[in-house]
């Protein structure tokens, strides 16, 4: 991304279109964001600037990046040709990160929000990209102390990538419900299953559910409009929950909370990957994928934020209201043939309880927020993977 970020907007847009036209279907990359913690108090600590030099010369160096605040780090699988390779890399990257942070006395957390550390105490990392965002957004970016999991899936064809993004819009609530892991923030039980989503998508501009675009040309005209009016200075300032990426020929899903459990992270990546591939196949075969209005997707979006997998979701194709788990099972059944073909099926599942449900159950049993968060961080296998 670094090289393409330095391109002028016109060059970036041309590069992106050409990359999609010559791209490859169903490559995959997973990005995970982790909180950097004091190992005793489990509060956030501003120590990314120690991790970055420690990674130099290691296998993790090119796969580790800063992500907004100094108490956060992101690790990336890098482009993988198969899903099996990607899930192996997710485990490997977690282990590599833990091996890097353990000697530094830094613990790792992976829920969508930190349950108590004040945003006022987190320092923006000193890079040109984040300095620009700080100057542009101020309080909005200061307040965004959140942690997510992103999945990139390769799609060949610029118009086809737009059509896949359009199809994914309607499934964003299902992905969010499955991934919800952040019921606590600012020392409060929010009664939300994804406080991260409420903080991030409701505050950032050009965030959440995007409009549907008819073609790449229409999307390109919109991006050019943003540049020409000074609304954005770089393409990553389109923070939508799903987007065609302009540095890689991928569709990027950005809706998911971070996952404290390695197995849940793999399953979530499998669900996102299979959904992209299934929508692409449907489009190729002429199966209708309706572009739902933004307003009805938002109804499901709120349901996922508020109740996660414990509530109900609307089948937007029929208008039926279903238990969220039943809706997720429907989607799993729909994507399963492609998932089996691409090696993702063994990882597909709807859990008995996701991370938010597990934490809420412990709170209702009388555990403190501090105890609950400690259970997400320890044992280390949850974040770092087995040695």
132 vs 370, which has greater pLDDT? 370
Sign of the C-alpha dihedral, residues 208, 258, 133, 117? positive
* Distance between CA atoms of residues 196 and 63, nearest Å: 24
Are 254 and 172 a contacting pair, CB within 8 Å? no
Residue listed under structure tokens 């970016």: 141
Relative to beta strand 239-240, strand 207-208 is parallel
Neighbours of 337 (CB within 10 A): 13
Distance CA 100, CA 97 (A): 5
Distance CA 95, CA 385 (A): 5
Q: Strand pairing of 250-257 and 64-67?
A: unpaired
* pLDDT classification of 383: cutoffs 50, 70, 90: very low
pLDDT at 378 over 70: no
pTM: 0.95
Provide the CA 157 distance to its chain's centre, in angstroms.
23
Helix, strand, coil tally for the chain in percent (to 5): 50, 15, 35
Model confidence at 259: pLDDT above 90: yes
Residue 387 has what pLDDT?
28
Number of H helices, E strands in the chain: 16, 13
Q: Smallest Cα–Cα separation from 348: which of 365, 332, 337, 364?
A: 332
Cα dihedral 68, 384, 276, 183 in deg (nearest 10): -70
| Averaged pLDDT, 311-336 | 97
Q: Check pLDDT > 60 for residue 386.
A: no
pLDDT at 330: 96
Q: d(Cα 181, Cα 256) in Å, to the nearest integer?
A: 9
| Tens digits of residue pLDDT in 133-180 | 888 889 988 999 999 999 999 999 999 999 999 999 999 999 999 999
Q: What is the rounded distance in angstroms from the CA atom of residue 363 to the CA atom of residue 351?
A: 19
Question: What pLDDT, on a 0 to 100 scale, did the predictor assign at position 305?
Answer: 98
How far is it, in rounded angstroms, from Cα 293 to Cα 301? Answer: 13
CB 176 within 8 A of CB 202: no
Q: What is the CATH number of domain 2-378?
A: 3.30.590.20
Residue 5 — very low, low, confident or very high, per pLDDT cuts 50/70/90? low
3-class secondary structure, 119? helix
Q: Could you read off the pLDDT of 48-82 as tens digits, one per residue?
A: 999 999 999 999 999 999 989 999 999 999 999 99
């Amino acid at each position: 991304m670094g090289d393409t970020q330095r391109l002028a907007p016109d060059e970036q847009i041309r590069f992106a279109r050409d990359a999609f036209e010559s791209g490859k279907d169903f490559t995959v990359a997973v990005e995970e964001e982790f909180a950097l913690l004091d190992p005793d108090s489990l509060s956030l600590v501003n120590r990314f600037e120690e991790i970055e030099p420690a990674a130099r010369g290691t296998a993790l160096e090119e796969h580790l990046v800063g992500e907004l605040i100094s108490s956060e780090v992101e690790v990336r699988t890098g482009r993988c040709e198969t899903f099996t390779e990607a899930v192996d890399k997710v485990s490997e990257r977690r282990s590599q990160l833990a091996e890097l942070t353990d000697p530094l006395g830094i613990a790792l957390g992976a829920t969508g929000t930190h349950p108590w550390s004040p945003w006022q105490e987190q320092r923006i990392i000193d890079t040109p990209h984040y300095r620009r965002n700080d100057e542009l957004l101020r309080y909005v970016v200061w307040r965004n102390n959140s942690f997510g999991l992103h999945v990139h899936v390769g799609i060949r064809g610029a118009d086809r990538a737009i059509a896949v993004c359009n199809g994914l819009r309607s499934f964003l609530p299902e992905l969010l419900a499955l991934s919800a892991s952040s019921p606590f923030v600012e020392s409060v039980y929010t009664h939300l299953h994804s406080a991260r989503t409420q903080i991030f998508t409701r505050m950032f501009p050009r965030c959440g559910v995007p409009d549907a675009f008819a073609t790449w040309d229409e999307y390109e005209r919109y991006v050019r409009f943003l540049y020409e009016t000074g609304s954005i200075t770089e393409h990553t300032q389109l923070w939508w929950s799903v987007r065609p990426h302009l540095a890689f020929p991928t569709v990027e899903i950005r809706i998911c909370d971070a996952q404290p459990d390695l197995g849940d992270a793999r399953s979530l990546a499998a669900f996102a990957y299979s959904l992209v591939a299934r929508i692409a196949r449907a489009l190729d075969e002429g199966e209708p994928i309706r572009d739902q209005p933004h307003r009805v997707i938002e109804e499901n979006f709120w349901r996922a934020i508020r109740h996660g997998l414990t509530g109900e979701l609307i089948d937007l194709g029929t208008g039926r209201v279903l238990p969220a788990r039943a809706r997720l099972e429907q989607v799993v059944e729909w994507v399963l043939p492609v998932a089996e073909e691409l090696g993702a099926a063994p990882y597909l599942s709807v859990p008995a309880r996701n991370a938010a449900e597990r934490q809420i159950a412990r709170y209702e049993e009388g555990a403190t927020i501090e105890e609950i968060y400690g259970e997400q961080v320890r044992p280390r296998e949850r974040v770092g993977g087995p040695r």
